[in-house]
A and B are shown apart, each in its own frame.
Chain A
Amino acid sequence: MQVTTEAVPSALSAEAIAALPDDALEEAYVVRFDVHQRIQHILLISSFLALVVTGFPQKFPSIELCQWLMEVMGGIQTVRLVHRIAGGIMIFDGIYHMAYVSFTVLVLQRTGPLQMIPNIRDVKDAVRTVQYFLGMSLRPPKYGRFSYLEKFDYWAVFWGMFVMGGSGLILLFPVLATRFLPGQIVIASFRAHSDEALLAMTWIAVVHIFYAHLAPRVFPFNTSIFSGRVPASRYRHEHPLEYAQLVESGKVLMVPADAPTPSGPTASPPVVVLPDYLQAPAYDLPEVRPDPGAALGTAGADGEEPESDA
């Protein structure tokens, strides 16, 4: 990555950082999402909300609130127009994400995004988590960069985007679709679009909102997807394996809290900013070397591929 540990001597050794108590890490953070991921998420939220607001009244027209919504938004024609525009934004967002991931993996040769691929460990983690919930083990399993639940969340949305985007396009262009596909596919799409939407909405309303916002650890609002940063005191518990790896590989960069922090495409590797009272030595942020990924802005700003240059 662009910042080397040699160039920036850490105030504390890896062992010392790992041993810090949560209190000491109160103002420290780990950069988890780069600017592209944050933009992708903002596009996703806004298009998703617009799609729900314009889609829900279409699915449940007999609910009074839906009729009111429909009326307030200017009737079915306007609602459908907004729905289609929002759908277009979401499809664009999906393509953007795929391009981003492909570029990162294939061109920049970084394996970080591949960590999202589920493996047998996730199944074990899920089982062990439930065992922990049930009191059958004392501690929850240690998660890496993505816990099994986060992977599930990601792939649920990923799959949902395909189903919703695909069925939505078929419904929008039924004549074109039936040139290549059996006519039934249009009705199946109608069904799938409607039901998958319900599933997506339930998922977001229950799981995502709970784990991202309502869970006691993060209540009332987890800002990390907007700021890109997660407090280190939380990160070390949520992603202990990754955190340990970051500390171990010396990628945890300690800078004073008041130092200008890198952001955007030139962001440093995962950064822990330690507060002043830990007597971190005062120093300037190092020069940032031009990075091949800087153009796309994927240059590990999110620390997604800690092992890629380790």
Chain B
Amino acid sequence: MGGLALAVLSVLARAGFASAGRIPDPPASAQATAGMSDEECLRCHSDPNASLSLPSGETISLYSDPAVFRRSVHGDKLNCADCHVRNQTVPHPSLNVVTARDFHRAEYELCKRCHFENYTRTLDSMHFDVVAAGNAYAPVCTDCHTAHSVMRLAESHVQIAKTCSQCHGAIYDDYVQSVHGSALQSEGNPDVPVCTTCHGVHNIQSATTAAFRLASVDMCAQCHASKGLMDKYGISSNVLKTYLNDFHGKTVGFYQKQSSEVWAETPVCFDCHGVHNITRVDDPNSPVIKENLLPTCRRCHPDATANFPSAWLSHYEPSVNRAPIVFFVREYYRFLIPVMIVGLIMHISLDLWRLARNR
């Protein structure tokens, strides 16, 4: 009976890995599954009550709805035995697991027979780090992709966010309120980032490292420095440039170039704008709207006074109206530097010319 369970869940697991673009042909061993046809499998596994008790006392269902599987991305490609290679004999080989989770974690390894590339990526992910640290509940392939009803997640942004929300519920709640998440929810906007846009897919990295923090600036810029995309929404695409030209951005720019890893105390985009709960900059709750800017500044500059926030031009280029002092200082040097340099060089050249003539 255990072997049967293994077989079912292997299919689940195998099926679960759909996002690698090209699905390779079923392996040779799978094609030669003369021993076990789907009909044979379903003789037992189409019983909705088929289940297996594990030593932990948990019970896992051995039922598989063939219709669900056929609708999945693997439905027209694979048969049960293509994934569940171990269970080609009846009775199936016995299982050596204690808990249901042990079982799932053992079975998801089946995915890598076809999806090796993405499987190895997950080994570099922070989810795997959590596994390595002893947390059995960190996600494996089938947790996100399901085992038998695998769909192309890349085609459904809404589904991606929902998938992550299974574990990251609080963050999801923030996200759906945000300018990005609400656009996704309400209109299915394909331009807004979903979880994987920023965090990556299979090799998801921790978002609390110095490296992630420094790289986050360019991550936001992927969209926010793209003129075509920003023009569509009437947003400035100059934000990265103006940020990098200002004190905060300058420092972050240096840290990015540096070979040694430094935790940037300097704010990056999400320190002021918010992370998952990011709002429109004209939203009354936005931490960067003029009325709310001082408290935002004070998070790092606790003694800041009312004048302080205007030391930041809110991503604007200085102009006569917006920052006259800055504008005139800039124009002053724009005029002075070339005039001085030309004047000095002329003075020296004339001096040398006279000297040469006098000889």
Contacts and interface: CB of A to CB of B under 8 A. Distances in A.
Interface in B312-348: 312-313, 318, 323-326, 329-330, 333, 336-337, 340-341, 344-345, 347-348
Contact of B350 (A133, A183, A199): A133
A182 interface: yes
A210 B251 CA distance: 35
Contact of B353 (A58, A67, A133, A196): A133
Contacts of B49: none
Contacts of A195: 329-330, 333, 337
Query: In this complex, which of A70, A191, A206, A216 has the most chain B Cβ atoms within 10 angstroms of its Cβ?
Result: A191
A150 interface: no
A216 B333 contact: no
Interface stretch (A11-19, A170-178, A231-239, A257-265): A170-178
Given A178-B305, A182-B325, A206-B344, A76 B311 contact: no
A186 interface: yes
A12 to B, nearest CB: 30
Interface residues of A, number: 41
A191 B326 contact: yes
Given A179-B307, A191-B326, A76 B313 contact: no
A188 interface: yes
B257 interface: yes
Contacts of B350: 130, 133-134
B343 to A, nearest CB: 10
Contact of B262 (A75, A196, A203): A75
B299 to A, nearest CB: 13
B311 A186 contact: yes
B348 A207 contact: yes
B355 A187 contact: no
B310 A183 contact: yes
Contacts of B305: 175, 178-179
A175 B304 contact: yes
A135 interface: yes
Given A76-B251, A175-B308, A184-B323, A210 B348 contact: yes
Interface in B281-324: 301, 303-305, 307-313, 318, 323-324
A184 B310 contact: yes
A181 interface: yes
A185 B251 CA distance: 19
B309 A71 contact: no
Contacts of A98: none
Contacts, number: 117
A174 B247 CA distance: 11
A171 B247 contact: yes
Contact of A183 (B254, B259, B309): B309
Contact of B307 (A132, A133, A182): A182
A149 B348 CA distance: 11
Given A174-B308, A175-B303, A191-B329, A198 B337 contact: yes
Contacts of B341: 202, 206
Interface in A207-222: 207, 210, 215-216
A9 interface: no
Contacts of B258: 70-71, 75-76
B310 A206 contact: no
A58 B249 CA distance: 12
Contacts of A132: 354
A70 B246 CA distance: 19
A203 B310 CA distance: 33
A43 interface: no
A89 interface: no
Contacts of A203: 340, 344
A198 B344 CA distance: 14
Interface string A63-90: 0000100110001110000000000000
Nearest to B301: A175
Contact of B254 (A61, A130, A187, A206): A61
A199 B341 CA distance: 8
A53 to B, nearest CB: 15
Query: In this complex, which of B246, B247, B326 has the most chain A Cβ atoms within 10 angstroms of its Cβ?
Result: B326
Interface in B246-288: 246-247, 250-251, 253-255, 257-260, 262
B169 to A, nearest CB: 39
A96 interface: no
B43 interface: no
Contacts of B340: 199, 202-203
Contacts of B330: 191, 195
Given A70-B258, A76-B258, A183-B310, A61 B323 contact: no
A128 to B, nearest CB: 13
A69 to B, nearest CB: 12
Given A70-B254, A171-B247, A196 B348 contact: no
Given A71-B259, A184-B311, A185-B311, 6 more contacts: A70-B254, A133-B351, A183-B308, A184-B324, A187-B318, A195-B333
For the complex of A and B, 6 pairs with smallest distance between CB atoms: A183-B310, A195-B333, A186-B311, A133-B350, A183-B311, A76-B254
16 contacts: A70-B257, A70-B258, A71-B258, A178-B304, A182-B310, A183-B311, A183-B312, A187-B246, A188-B323, A188-B326, A188-B329, A195-B330, A195-B337, A196-B333, A206-B345, A216-B355
Interface of B: 246-247, 250-251, 253-255, 257-260, 262, 301, 303-305, 307-313, 318, 323-326, 329-330, 333, 336-337, 340-341, 344-345, 347-348, 350-351, 353-355, 357
